[in-house]
Amino acid sequence: MLDFFKFFSKEDNKSKDIAKERLKLILIHDRANVSPKFLDMIKGDIIKVISNYMEIDEAGMDIKLSRIERENDNYSSALIANIPIKRMKKIGKNN
């Protein structure tokens, strides 16, 4: 409830700043969704890099764009990847 009032209080952000921040977040998601290929491309690249160091379960891999809450009502976008590891490769250990 407290937060609710804070949201509308005058001395807080100007409404145009709120509009701008909200838009930026909305557009990150809209733009990512324009092409379903987008996340697949990222996924492919991540697999390529990580595979140098560990063996991963590609089928069980999940990657998505999401909002995460930060301190006091601030949200930001985050790329969340869940990558099950089968085993580490040797190079990783030697270094």
Partner 1 sequence: MGEVIVITSGKGGVGKTTTTANIGTALALEGKQVVLIDADIGLRNLDVVMGLENRIVYDLVDVVEGVCRLKQALIRDKRFKGLYLLPAAQTRDKNAVNPEQMKNLCEELKKHFDYILIDCPAGIEQGFKNAIAGADRAIVITVPEVSSVRDADRIIGLLSAQGLNTPLLVVNRLRMDMVKKGDMMDIDDTIDILGIDLLGVVPDDERIIVSSNRGEPAVIEASSLAGQAYRNIAKRIMGEDVPLIQLENNDRFIDKLLGLFKSKKKN
Q: Nearer Cβ to partner 1, position 1 or 34?
A: 34
Distance between CA atoms of residues 83 and 50, nearest Å: 10
Distance between CA atoms of residues 40 and 37, nearest Å: 5
Q: Nearer Cβ to partner 1, position 19 or 91?
A: 19
15 belongs to the binding site for partner 1 (CB under 8 A): yes
80 touches 61 (CB < 8 A): no
44 touches 20 (CB < 8 A): no
Select the span of 13-21, 44-52, 61-69, 82-90 touching partner 1 (CB under 8 A): 13-21
Distance between CA atoms of residues 62 and 42, nearest Å: 11
23 belongs to the binding site for partner 1 (CB under 8 A): yes
30 belongs to the binding site for partner 1 (CB under 8 A): yes
6 belongs to the binding site for partner 1 (CB under 8 A): no
67 belongs to the binding site for partner 1 (CB under 8 A): no
Sign of CA dihedral 86, 52, 82, 57: negative
Residues at the site binding partner 1, with contacts judged by CB under 8 A? 14-17, 19-20, 22-24, 26-27, 30-31, 34
